[in-house]
Structure 1
Amino acid sequence: MRHAIDHLGVKGSTLVIRNGKTWLKFATGNQADTSYLINSVQKSMTAAMIMREVQKSKLKLSTKLSRFYGAIPGADKVRISNLLNMTSGLDLKPGEELGEDIFRSDEDNFQSDIKKTYFNPRMLGKWHYTSVNYVYLCGILTQLTHKSYERLFRDTYIKPLHLKQTEFFWSSKQKLLKSNWVPGYEKVAGQYQHVPHAEAIKDAHDELGAGSIVMSNSDLAKVMRLILTSKFLTKQSRKELYQSTAPSYYNGGFYNLKHYKMANGAGEGYYTFFRSTHEGKTMLIVQANHTAKGKFVKIKKRINRIMDFMTYFDR
């Protein structure tokens, strides 16, 4: 297993959990408990917070988006379930990007995104991956709880689980360094270049609940264990949240494959690859802070083969 992971060519941190116990924890670069920007892997945590509101009867999966954002095109047709499984028919207009040119507040970003969003009725019910779905889920959480997304995330995950290597990317450098964070690098013209921190922070604000958290492998495993195995979500809630169909298999922030779940993150010079059996007993987490064009897909496929091998003996 160590040999196969080493041959991924990833300079970062790896954690392997088998039957609920740490099996391998090591670094091929940085440290075993270095924290990285997890990018889209955060969507699973946002989705779980939404499902908690469903459990509290403050929301239904069938609730229309118009209850919260009536100005969004198609909001009277799009349901919460569509946002969770990326079948809303919503996307940004061609050439537009999430957020404002200069970040002022989450609410300003929400309103800016609404003006840039279009609705394609022919895509309602059809899978199309776009972070705008999860950005609006953050806005819904804010309206339901009367808390900012950051405060809600801290109250839901960071404080109860006593996470020491988890922080919002826009926090002070002092807080980031305390969490064992390392900057990201992208390969340009054959050389790795540091991703400008101010630019990366703005992107994190724009992504909000879809790419704004740095975490170590151990902290990531703690949160995923909470979501997948504890009473945080009921069995019925997990069943509803993670039901998925071909060809996407996507719902609740995970690709829900036959034998395991997977989530991937890439951007700002970071890779995060998360794999877990459905009950959370076996996990494989690989993170790195050096990225290169075309490398993500190759690593993802090889990590899938490793996870296939790990789960083969558990079937």
Structure 2
Amino acid sequence: MNLKSSISAFLFLAANLVFAQQNHYKETIDSVLHYFQENHAFSGRVTIEKNNEVLYDGDYNLFGKGKGNYKVGSVTKMFTAVLVFQLIEEEKLKLETPLSDFYPEIKNADEITIGNLLSHTSGLYEILGWDEYYLTRNQSFSKEQLLKLILNGKPEFKPNKDCSYSNSNYLLLGFILEDVTEKPYAELVKEKISDQIGLKNTYVAVSGGNQPTLDSYIFDGEDWVKDVSSDPSLPFAAGSIVSNNEDLIQFLKALFEGQLISQTSLDQMKTLKSKTIGHGLFNAPFYEKTAWGHTGRIDEFKTAAFYFPEEDLTLVITMDAGRVGINDIALPVLSKFYGKKYNYPEFYHSEITEPDFSVFEGDYKIKLAGIISVGIMRIKKAKNNFLFMTEVHDGKESEWVLLERMDENTFYSRRANAKLEFSFDKKNETDKITLEQGKFKISGVKID
């Protein structure tokens, strides 16, 4: 064999080796997504792109495969932060600009800056903590109503004294963007981001709008049930954008390639105020690698959009249903892609039918250390071998969370990563409940 033939043979073998390796991670990612979907834990799409080449694109959507766009929740915050930094570069805002320049009625407004709002260091009340949030999320809210909710909420801490994620920060940033530019937030996203870099399927949902959007679904133990759709006026600049995998990849690439803001502004977005929270970007380490981006959740939509700058690699996951968190999908996908060890989670499918589920249903008064009352936990039967759990405050129910049966008296909340164990009295009726989450444990007494 001559030298030319040897080189050709080597290149052929190398190409086939690369192809085999690619097929390997594609098969392993497919297998893990199949596993989650078979356990009613995932419906959505996963896309990995590197150097402008799509390396993996798995569409596992049960309800709208290849159709429609996803609500991306808090991924919206990256777009809002970009708009803010564009105004800073235009010298219409500064990171040091106080909130009192716009909304002096907000508590600590003189001490809260644009930078504090971007980095969640304002201490402002988290609007998701409002007791009626889940009951009223499908209703339209005015700017005045949202400001009143923030104003009436008790701050968590003094500005700059801590870092705690709060959607209220980005609601206010959206209002400030509109005040400074005298344009609606939806128009700003379209004009200064979507149109500028050619996003075809990214827009801000508005109340009464008829833009094409998928529905999201909840698993009730047997079937997928359509979830309530939040009105976009409530999340606003904190979570009202609709997009798809291709557009989110394009957005992240444009952001890191300097098409939207300067390198100086991008560096500021990446400046951390906690282990993971920057000024509109999250830091996400994976072994020796570091990604930047954001996660989001609204209704049962969940999204992760992250970029690994050193590898020019982007991962986007969009979900419209699934009883696991977005990180529970991102971790195995990245592990399979990079050949890292991954242990599959166990999904409980107990066939135990005794005692009957009716004995668990009711309200339980929860106490911390057995003394301090922290609220009411309501339990009701779901379908098959599952229960639902929710918190009740002032008679108002919060989000219902599915519980999997582990044994006769023990159930597991996958969303909270917590175990619930029921105790029985001499009449063989439930009288107590214990919730264990890691080292944290609280107990409750049945009151109804």
Band the TM-score falls in, shorter-chain normalisation? 0.7 to 0.9
Using a 3 Å threshold, how does the CA distance of structure 1 residues 305 and 64 change in structure 2: closer, same or farther? farther
1:223 partner SS: helix
Equivalent pair of 2:301/2:321 in contact (CA under 8 Å)? yes
- Residues 171 and 236 of structure 2 are in contact (CA less than 8 Å); yes or no, is this contact kept in structure 1? yes
Q: What secondary structure, in the 3-state scheme, does the structure 1 residue paired with 2:211 have?
A: helix
How is 1:104-115 mapped onto 2 (pairs within 5 angstroms)?
105=142, 107-115=143-151
Aligned to 2:29, the other structure's residue is in SS state helix
Structure 2 unaligned residues grouped into runs of 5+? 1-24, 37-41, 341-448
Q: Please state how far the C-alpha of 1:234 moved relative to its aligned partner.
A: 0.8
For the pair 1:263 / 2:294, whether they are aligned, the reply is yes
2:271 to 240, 243, 253: 243
Preserved contact between residue 260 and residue 278 of structure 1 (Cα < 8 Å): yes
In the TM superposition, residue 274 of structure 1 has moved relative to its aligned partner by 1.4
More deviation in 11-20 or 155-164? Answer: 155-164
Letter in 1 for 2:262: T
Q: Does 1:148 align with 2:184?
A: yes
Distance in 2 (CA, whole Å) between partners of 1:3 and 1:11 is: 18
Looking at structure 2, the residues matched to 83 and 156 of structure 1 have their Cα atoms a distance apart, in angstroms, of 21
Q: Displacement of 1:165 after TM fit?
A: 2.0
Residue 281 of structure 2 corresponds to: 254
Q: Which residue of 2 aligns with 1:52?
A: 86
Report the AA paired with residue 127 of structure 1.
Answer: C
How high is the TM-score relative to the length of structure 2?
A: 0.61
Aligned length: 299
For 2:134 and 2:117, locate their aligned partners in 1 and report how far apart those are by CA, in whole Å: 18
Distance in structure 2 (CA, Å) of the matches to 1:123 and 1:115: 15
Cα distance change on mapping 1:63 and 1:91 into 2, 3 Å: same
Q: Match for 1:298: what amino acid? A: D
| Residue correspondence of structure 1 range 85-234 to structure 2 within 5 A | 85-92=119-126, 95-96=130-131, 102-103=139-140, 105=142, 107-122=143-158, 124-170=160-206, 174-176=210-212, 181-197=213-229, 200=230, 202=231, 204-234=232-262
| 2:248 maps to amino acid | L
The one-letter code of the counterpart of 1:134 is Y
Over 3 Å counting, the alpha-carbon distance change for 1:308 and 1:87 in structure 2 is: farther
TM-score normalised to the size of structure 1? 0.84
Measure how far apart 1:17 and its partner are. 0.8
State which of 92, 99, 118 in structure 2 corresponds to 1:65. 99
8 Å contact 1:98–1:206 — kept in the other structure?
no
Q: Structure 1 residues 145 and 84 mapped into 2: Cα distance closer, same or farther (>3 Å)?
A: same
Q: Which has the higher helix share?
A: 1
Contact 2:308-2:314 at 8 Å conserved across structures: yes
SS in 1 for 2:180: helix
Determine which of 305, 313, 331 is the counterpart of 1:301: 331
Q: CA contact under 8 A between 2:50 and 2:311: conserved in structure 1?
A: no
Using the aligned pairs only, state the percent identity: 22
| Higher deviation after alignment, 37-46 or 167-176 | 167-176
Q: How far off is 1:171 after superposition? A: 6.4
For 1:28, give the aligned amino acid.
Y
Q: Give the Cα separation in 1 of the matches to 2:326 and 2:154.
A: 29
96 and 74 in structure 1: CA distance in 2 versus 1, 3 angstrom threshold: farther
> Aligned residue for 2:109?
75
C-alpha spacing 1:104/1:82, structure 2 compared with 1 (3 Å): closer
Determine the C-alpha separation between the residues in 2 that align with 1:142 and 1:98. 24
Indicate conservation of the 8 Å contact 1:17/1:24, yes or no: yes
1:25 aligned to which of 57, 60, 79: 57
Judged with a 3 Å threshold, the aligned counterparts in structure 2 of structure 1 residues 285 and 165 are, in CA distance, closer, same or farther, namely same
For the aligned residue pairs, the C-alpha RMSD in angstroms reads: 2.8
Contact kept, 8 Å, 1:110 with 1:139, in 2: the verdict is: no
Contact 2:112 2:159 (8 Å CA) reproduced = no
Q: Which runs of 5+ in 1 are unaligned?
A: 311-315
Cα offset, 1:280, TM superposition: 8.1
